[in-house]
């Protein structure tokens, strides 16, 4: 079974402000839980979950821990 490396960016989901506003509280909580789990998994493997270029990419959306 061949496995390839996965980056945080490949498993991350980003929402615009408009998309985020359409999510209900359960969906927002699930999003945060899944993103935290992905982050924790990658950091436990010694991977840098967010490359230095990711900040510019996510600055216009809610990929960075919105309030629920």
Q: Is residue 57 part of a domain?
A: no
Give the per-residue SS3 of 6-67: CCHHHHCCCCCHHHHHHCCHHHHHHHHHHHHHHHHHHHHCCCCCCCCCHHHHHCCCCCCCCC
pLDDT value at position 43? 83
Q: What is the DSSP letter of 68?
A: -
Tokens of 13: 């989901």
Q: Is residue 22 part of a domain?
A: yes
Q: Is residue 32 part of a domain?
A: yes
Q: Is residue 27 part of a domain?
A: yes
pLDDT value at position 25? 96
Q: Are 26 and 33 in contact (CB under 8 A)?
A: no
- Tens of pLDDT along the chain (68 residues)? 767 777 778 878 889 999 999 999 999 999 999 988 888 887 887 766 665 554 434 444 555 555 65
Contacts of 47 (CB under 8 A, 6+ apart): 7, 8
Q: Is residue 8 part of a domain?
A: no
Range of the domain at 28: 15-45
pLDDT value at position 40? 87
Domains held by the chain: number: 1
pLDDT value at position 2? 67
């Amino acid at each position: 079974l061949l496995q390839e490396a996965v980056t945080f960016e490949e498993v991350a989901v980003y929402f615009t402000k408009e998309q985020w506003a359409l999510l209900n509280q359960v969906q927002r909580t699930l999003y945060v839980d899944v993103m935290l789990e992905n982050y924790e998994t990658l950091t436990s493997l010694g991977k840098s979950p967010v490359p230095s270029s990711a900040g510019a990419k996510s600055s216009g959306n809610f990929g960075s821990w919105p309030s629920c």
